């Protein structure tokens, strides 16, 4: 090997203090296969290791789907692959499971992890697709005995500042699940009027200070484009510095910093939903789901905010009244207190299910 051909050695990033603070510095968490003790320590504290994802309500989902060896299923939102791995174990080497995901970056990593566990294309396949295209997949491979859709953004997407999903780390204001298509959140902000911004924040996130934030966004965009996550957070912070705070249900006046934090989370959620057309995609998926299920097929859907849950609830109810679904969840299922303690990102989860006639 010549001197030019020798691989360049890269030293790991060093950080100040006892614990790493930035995503790239968390080299142990980002390599869970090498540092299992470190991962266990992070999870024991109720945290999700950087770049990973803890599947939610696995026991409840498996109970609903009642997977039998030899059946065919579809994990409509592959993510980190935690639910997929659990479902593959239920198949016991017989049957077939498809995993769909619109994110080309994380789904390829997940495929590698699943292959390393010994699951070949004879029992599991990854499909680069939006889950609203379930009709096309069913037309190709046949109807499904069980379907799971986890509508939450995966932790590894949120944790990586380069994806722009959170105000907590500075990065490009992107928010696209598939960064290879569509337009970024930064470009979307430049397109929208003040009224459109208000409507987006109210409809997608029930933001109580939508008008104040929208006006500040428009004022800022006239002089400087909002291109980063931190820049948007600072705009929200400025918009809420002088607003009259609204008392909570108990009549208490909240702290302004808590209001800014919660509003920032809602604004990022609203933008993400808008950029990825999440409501439109979910409506389409719910319409196509019955035809993609085999007779007696089971579907389970995890939602993470009220807008998603309303769409799922109404669709299940409507098809149940038409006799298309034999049975549906009468009440929403929530994660246990123990699971919420172990995984703080499970708190807002709601699970609904349906069985085709």
For the CA atoms of the chain, what is the radius of gyration? 22
What is the DSSP-derived secondary structure letter of residue 73? E
Average pLDDT over residues 2-10: 53
Whether 13 is in a domain gets the answer no
Q: Which residues pair with 100 in a beta bridge?
A: 127
Quick: pLDDT tens for 94-128: 999 999 999 888 889 899 989 999 999 999 999 99
Are 283 and 260 within one domain?
no
Closest C-alpha among 87, 88, 85 to residue 61: 87
Token pair 């869970």 is found at 32
Tell me how far apart the alpha carbons of residues 156 and 168 are, in angstroms, rounded to a whole number: 14
Are 82 and 129 within one domain?
yes
Strands (E), 55-143: 72-75, 96-101, 124-128
Are 98 and 112 within one domain?
yes
Domain residues for the domain of 98 are: 58-155+279-356
Are 292 and 211 within one domain?
no
Tell me how far apart the alpha carbons of residues 186 and 178 are, in angstroms, rounded to a whole number: 15
Instruction: Tell me the percentage of the chain whose pLDDT exceeds 90.
Output: 64
Closest C-alpha among 65, 17, 6 to residue 294: 65
Q: Which residues pair with 299 in a beta bridge?
A: 147, 354
| Number of independent structural domains in the chain | 2
Q: Does residue 337 register a pLDDT over 80?
A: yes
CATH of the domain at 93: 3.40.50.150
> What 3-state DSSP class applies to 128?
strand
Closest C-alpha among 171, 225, 218 to residue 197: 218
Residue that finishes a domain, picked among 210, 241, 275: 275
Residue that finishes a domain, picked among 225, 247, 275: 275
Average pLDDT over residues 25-50: 53
Tell me how far apart the alpha carbons of residues 101 and 327 are, in angstroms, rounded to a whole number: 28
**In 10 A of CB 30, how many CB atoms?**
19
Are 258 and 183 within one domain?
yes
Are 144 and 203 within one domain?
no
Are 285 and 267 within one domain?
no
Please, which residues have CB within 8 angstroms of residue 350's CB and are 6 or more apart in sequence?
302, 303, 304, 309, 332, 333, 334
Q: Does residue 27 register a pLDDT over 50?
A: no
Predicted TM-score (pTM) of the model is 0.82
DSSP string across 208-224: TTHHHHHHHHHHHHHHS
Whether 20 is in a domain gets the answer no
Residue that finishes a domain, picked among 245, 275, 305: 275
Whether 49 is in a domain gets the answer no
Whether 67 is in a domain gets the answer yes
Tell me how far apart the alpha carbons of residues 333 and 16 are, in angstroms, rounded to a whole number: 43
pLDDT recorded at residue 30: 54
111-120, 149-158, 309-318 — which is least confidently predicted?
A: 149-158
């Amino acid at each position: 090997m010549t001197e030019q051909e020798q691989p360049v050695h890269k030293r790991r990033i060093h950080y100040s203090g006892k614990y790493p603070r930035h995503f790239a510095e968390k080299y142990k968490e980002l390599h869970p296969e090498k540092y299992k003790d470190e991962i266990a320590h992070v999870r024991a504290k109720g945290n999700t290791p950087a770049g990973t994802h803890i599947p939610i309500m696995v026991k409840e989902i498996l109970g609903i789907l009642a997977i039998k060896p030899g059946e065919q299923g579809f994990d409509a939102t592959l993510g980190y692959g935690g639910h997929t791995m659990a479902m593959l174990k239920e198949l016991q080497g017989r049957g077939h499971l498809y995993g769909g995901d619109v994110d080309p970056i994380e789904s390829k990593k997940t495929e590698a992890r699943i292959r390393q566990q010994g699951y070949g294309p004879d029992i599991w396949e990854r499909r680069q697709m939006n889950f609203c295209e379930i009709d096309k997949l069913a037309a190709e491979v046949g109807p499904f005995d069980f379907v799971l859709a986890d509508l939450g953004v995966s932790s590894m997407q949120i944790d990586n500042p380069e994806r722009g999903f959170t105000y907590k780390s500075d990065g490009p204001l992107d928010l696209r699940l598939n960064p290879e298509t569509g337009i970024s959140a930064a470009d979307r902000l430049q397109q929208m009027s003040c009224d459109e911004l208000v409507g987006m924040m109210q409809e997608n996130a029930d933001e109580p200070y939508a008008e104040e934030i929208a006006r500040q966004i428009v004022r800022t965009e006239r002089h400087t484009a909002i291109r980063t996550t931190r820049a948007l957070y600072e705009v929200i912070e400025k918009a809420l510095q002088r607003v009259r705070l609204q008392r909570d249900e108990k009549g208490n006046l909240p702290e302004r910093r808590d209001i800014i934090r919660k509003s920032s989370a809602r604004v990022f959620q609203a933008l993400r939903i808008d950029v990825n057309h999440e409501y439109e995609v979910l409506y389409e998926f719910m319409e196509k789901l019955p035809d993609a299920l085999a007779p007696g097929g089971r579907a389970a859907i995890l939602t993470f905010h009220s807008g998603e849950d309303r769409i799922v609830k109404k669709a299940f109810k409507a098809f149940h009244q038409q006799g298309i679904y034999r049975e549906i969840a009468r009440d929403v299922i929530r994660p246990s207190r123990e699971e919420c303690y172990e995984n703080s990102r499970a708190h807002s989860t709601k699970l609904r299910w349906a069985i085709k006639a």
